[in-house]
Chain A
Amino acid sequence: MNSLYNFAVGPLAWAAFIILAVTAVWRLWSMHSLAKQKDASSVAYMSWKFSLRSIFNWLIPYKSLGWKANPVLTAVTYVFHICFIVLVIFVTPHQILLENAFGITYPTLSSDAADVLTLIVIACCCYFVYRRVTNVTVRYVTRTNDWVSLGLVAVPFLTAILGSWSVGGEIMPLLHVLTAEALIVAIPFTRLAHILFALFTRAYMGSEFGGVRHCKDW
């Protein structure tokens, strides 16, 4: 089991990150080339000023009409994304892996804090599931890909908290690593691709609204 775990956090992790890096760069680069080739009349209006203006305003909770009209979803979305990022970077085992690999050290979360944040992420995922089932609009447009993406995000957190509570013995940390690696690899190929593209689509819309339409897009 130990050697399997070492393999998962070692070569397999390297492979997952390399696949992510290569495919993400490839996807962004090919999207950029496609935009230059096919969307020249849109690319021509791209502007740093209006792109950043739009991104900034959409980062503020309850600033846009969309955030205002969906108060609970807004809160859950912000909490989910913030906890997700904080956990990925500041959970102690992750820092240790980074230290072993690159010698990087920085302060980390206590295990209690990490557990609380993990539970919050799981609760957020539960809300997403609940909303996907009960909200008629969301249910109407939900396809397999949406469930796969949500599952890919939720399972590493579920395995992390079970592992932290020593449920399932040694298998749970291994499952955590494997499912996290599946998540990493899946980013460019599922709805999780919004991680790669959302800033650019937001920037594009901001540029159109700022530069062409002379009004706000939030």
Chain B
Amino acid sequence: MSIQDRKIEDEGLSYGVSKLTTDKIQQTFKALIDNETGAKLKAFSESCVRCGMCAEACHFFVSHGNDPSYSPVGKVSQTMTKLLANDGKVTPDDIYGMAQVAYTECNLCRRCVHYCPIGIDVAYIMTTIRRFCHKLGVTPQYIQDTAHSHSATMNQMWVKDDEWIDSLFWQEDEAREEFPTLRIPMDKEGADFYYSVIAPEPKFRTQLIYQAAAIMNQAGCDWTMPSMPGWDNSDMCMYSGDFEMMGRLKRQHFELAQKLKVSRIVMGECGHAFRSIYDNGNRWLGWKDYPVPVVHSIEFFAELFEQGRIKLTHKIQEPVTIHDPCNIVRGYGLMDKLRYVAHQLCDNIVEMYPNREHNFCCSAGGGVINCGPPFKKVRVEGNLAKANQLKATGAKICIAPCHNCHGGLEDVIHHYDLGIELKFLGDLIYELMEKPE
């Protein structure tokens, strides 16, 4: 099978492709190769001996009956190899297929790196294809909508400035029934940290802001949440290929922290936003280090437990498994801290295999879930591997400290009828911690 046999109708891709000519494609490709790629792409392209060892690394390949067109090298072969071999002279229809491969059939999870003796980074190649498609104006409609939202509002979900502030007031108000002294301090200058979330939190998962506020207050933290644009740490532009906008988002995020004179930023339980800070956005801006220290929630919760600032009433007794999100585990090495926090909360942790940096991706990350309903089926069916992993643990609860993983795993759990409940670390801490009488 090839991508030509499984094209999915998407308005964004169709519209983008309808405006292309072969000449425009070739000119754009040449400009991309000359201006934006270098030795990495050249060395990867020339050194790959096409051994196919990477195939088994990919959940799409494994879950689609070992279909070679889903293997990492197969995806490269249908995209970058074809472009390089033809010096960018391909048809608009080819570009449709390439966009579908790069945006919806690769989670950029980098698991294939663990299988390639030569050290070829297929995620980088797929990101470069996405960048190319962005430059051609060929992007899936749903992810492009989030990218538009970023550029218009500086957040991913079209949340208006007053709606954001209102959401914080609303959660503060609600929480004061349970925690009478609770505050969500807004724009507090010089606080220990500012807590930043992704825009789907106020939009769809507002209870997470409630829970975070409850934890911060019970732990006696000196914290704040900003009222101004920059509060959203998410970055779909990194995945759509709009790197200029990715840079603007990261700059705004950090400038807000500097404006508020906070000592550091604590980021919510999200993976891709973290990748945007440590790996992609920072490099685009030319920063080797961040202007303000940043920690992920996992690190922050670990710190609270180490300092004895969270008191629990009890621990979860039933079997609990842990899903390692690619961007913060394979991407940032937080597997031990994740386990430390999980063991504080649960007595009976059952590991899934493979785990830690060798885990299988949730199949939602890398912007794939953000490409929306047209591509849901391929994503869910493309993660039978994860369903089998989850099932084998026999656990009834799965901890996944990442929003995208939640989205992807929820779909997998429902599709394969696994009967597993998904939890954020914040969910469990809130549920188990001591609360006022």
CB within 8 Å of B: which residues of A? 31-32, 34-35, 37-39, 41-42, 44-45, 54, 58, 64-67, 69-70, 73, 77, 135-143, 146, 149, 191, 193-194, 197-198, 200-206, 208-209, 212-218
Is B331 among interface residues, defined by CB-CB distance under 8 A? yes
Which residues on B sit within 8 Å (CB–CB) of A41?
283-284, 286
A71 to chain B, nearest CB (A): 11
CB within 8 Å of A: which residues of B? 36-40, 42-44, 46-57, 61, 66, 68-69, 71, 73-74, 76-77, 81, 85, 113-121, 278-279, 283-284, 286, 288, 329-333, 335, 354, 356-358
**A69–B58 CA distance with the chains assembled, in angstroms:** 12
| CB-based nearest A residue for B288 | A44
Most A-side CB within 10 Å, residue of B73, B115, B284: B115
Partner of A138, one of B52, B76, B278, B332: B52
Which residues on A sit within 8 Å (CB–CB) of B39?
31-32, 34-35, 38-39
Q: A31-B39, A137-B71 are in contact. Are A216 and B357 (CB under 8 A)?
A: yes
Contact, CB under 8 Å: B68 / A202? no
Known: A65-B354, A194-B48, A205-B120; 4 extra A-B contacts, CB below 8 A, are A66-B114, A140-B74, A141-B76, A212-B279
**A104–B36 CA distance with the chains assembled, in angstroms:** 48
Q: A35-B38, A138-B51, A146-B50 are in contact. Are A215 and B357 (CB under 8 A)?
A: yes
| CB-based nearest A residue for B111 | A65
Contact, CB under 8 Å: B68 / A64? no
Which residues on A sit within 8 Å (CB–CB) of B119?
54, 58, 198, 201-206, 217
Which residues on B sit within 8 Å (CB–CB) of A65?
57, 114-115, 354, 358
**A67–B118 CA distance with the chains assembled, in angstroms:** 12
Partner of A198, one of B47, B283, B330: B47
Partner of B42, one of A31, A67, A214: A31
Most A-side CB within 10 Å, residue of B77, B85, B118, B356: B118
Contact, CB under 8 Å: A66 / B115? yes
Which residues on B sit within 8 Å (CB–CB) of A208?
121
| CB-based nearest A residue for B61 | A137
- Some 18 contacts from A to B, beta carbons below 8 A apart, are A35-B38, A35-B39, A38-B37, A38-B39, A54-B119, A66-B114, A137-B73, A140-B68, A140-B71, A141-B52, A141-B68, A194-B46, A194-B118, A205-B113, A208-B121, A209-B113, A213-B333, A214-B333
**A106–B48 CA distance with the chains assembled, in angstroms:** 35
| CB-based nearest B residue for A208 | B121
| CB-based nearest B residue for A138 | B52
**Mostly helix, strand, loop or mixed at chain B's interface?**
helix
A154 to chain B, nearest CB (A): 14
Which residues on B sit within 8 Å (CB–CB) of A32?
39
Contact, CB under 8 Å: B46 / A191? yes
| CB-based nearest A residue for B282 | A41
Most B-side CB within 10 Å, residue of A45, A137, A212: A137
**A149–B51 CA distance with the chains assembled, in angstroms:** 13
| CB-based nearest B residue for A139 | B68
Most A-side CB within 10 Å, residue of B46, B73, B332: B46
**A205–B114 CA distance with the chains assembled, in angstroms:** 10
Contact, CB under 8 Å: A198 / B118? yes
Q: A65-B57, A136-B68, A216-B357 are in contact. Are A201 and B37 (CB under 8 A)?
A: no
Contact, CB under 8 Å: A215 / B116? no
Partner of B40, one of A73, A146, A204, A218: A204
Contact, CB under 8 Å: A140 / B69? yes
Q: A191-B50, A205-B121, A217-B114 are in contact. Are A34 and B42 (CB under 8 A)?
A: yes
**A190–B16 CA distance with the chains assembled, in angstroms:** 36
Contact, CB under 8 Å: A137 / B283? no
Which residues on B sit within 8 Å (CB–CB) of A215?
329-330, 332-333, 335, 356-357
Q: A65-B358, A201-B120, A213-B330 are in contact. Are A135 and B52 (CB under 8 A)?
A: yes
Contact, CB under 8 Å: B53 / A39? no
Which residues on A sit within 8 Å (CB–CB) of B85?
143
Contact, CB under 8 Å: B279 / A146? no
Contact, CB under 8 Å: A66 / B116? yes
Contact, CB under 8 Å: B278 / A137? no
